[in-house]
Structure 1
């Protein structure tokens, strides 16, 4: 996976997606929002460019009621290829922001450009952390997650963190780091009132790409539908 460098925002793609929806993922939700299932048929997403703006706090309930609701899925390059299943059925209110090479601190900084003050956010789903584990500094990772948690609470959204996916061929130290951080992340989300989507070791066998970090085509399909099912169930 690329480290550092520039990243860009990637929103939904305009291609067809013929892969059928898979079974909803096992998940732990630690906040007050109920998750239900839905069987609605969906339209396909189109491409659009974002023009980020800085959010403003202190909106009244009446103002929020009149604003457009947007669901944002934000994170590192593992989100690439998940746009089609996530952005269905409402491409105007559900979007994916993929930040290639991003670490936890990058997502924290990017939120001020992604979140728009004219909208309100019923759900914010975050998947990041793989790049941070390359240094196996668990204390720094936890500190960065805490700072991100403080930031996302400003938006008044239902926040869900997606667990760090396993990697292959990067040494036992990194494997232990990922397992330790995920165990802590589960506890921390429960304490802070965030949701936690636990992928476990599902993506370890046959779903990783040749580099051992990114997902294969089949892995991307499964990952995209797990995130999409969570979004749909959380909003209905």
Structure 2
């Protein structure tokens, strides 16, 4: 059983240590939710028995100012992941970062709150 982490450039240097299992990180710099949807089957196909899939995406989508489209794309991605694997799915979502400005922080925070629901 293994852990696969898929995401944009934020996961680039992530090192994962899982006791008794393998782990892998699939980094797709600049990726948006739809990009992760396309690359997910390839990243998952490289690994055998996947127990957990961690997805980090959304920060690159927020600049388009289309929150409702983002939400629909994310729902579609999560549905696709759930249909293609029996693994536990963890969606990290776009984490708010204040250093990118108050408007970006506000948009990311609102999306993060939506994801929690």
Mark yes or no: TM-score above 0.5. Answer: yes
Question: CA 1:183 to 1:118, structure 2 compared with 1: closer, same or farther past 3 Å?
Answer: closer
CA contact 1:136–1:174 (8 Å) conserved in 2: no
Post-superposition shift, 1:88?
5.0
Name the one with the larger strand percent: 2
- TM-score, length-scaled by structure 2: 0.86
Post-superposition shift, 1:136?
2.4
CA contact 1:104–1:129 (8 Å) conserved in 2: yes
The equivalent of 2:88 in structure 1 is 158
- TM-score, length-scaled by structure 1: 0.45
Matched, 1:75 2:7: yes
- Supply the distance in 2 between the matched residues of 1:98 and 1:87 (Cα, whole angstroms): 17
Post-superposition shift, 1:169?
4.9
User: Which structure 2 residues correspond to residues 8-87 of structure 1 after superposition, within 5 A?
Assistant: 69-83=1-15, 86-87=16-17
Question: CA 1:127 to 1:141, structure 2 compared with 1: closer, same or farther past 3 Å?
Answer: same
Instruction: State the secondary structure of the residue aligned to 1:159.
Output: strand
Matched, 1:177 2:107: yes
CA contact 2:50–2:87 (8 Å) conserved in 1: yes
Post-superposition shift, 1:117?
7.7
Residue ranges of structure 1 left out of the alignment (5+ in a row): 1-68, 188-236
Instruction: State the secondary structure of the residue aligned to 1:115.
Output: helix
| Superposition misfits of 4+ residues, deviation over 6 angstroms | none
CA contact 1:104–1:144 (8 Å) conserved in 2: yes
Matched, 1:133 2:67: no
Question: CA 1:118 to 1:159, structure 2 compared with 1: closer, same or farther past 3 Å?
Answer: closer
Residue ranges of structure 2 left out of the alignment (5+ in a row): none
- Which structure has the bigger radius of gyration? 1
Q: Between the two structures, name the one with larger relative contact order (CA 8 Å, sep ≥ 6).
A: 1
Name the one with the larger helix percent: 2
1:114 to 15, 39, 43: 43
The equivalent of 1:195 in structure 2 is none
2:27 to 68, 74, 98: 98
CA contact 2:3–2:22 (8 Å) conserved in 1: yes
Q: CA RMSD in A?
A: 2.0
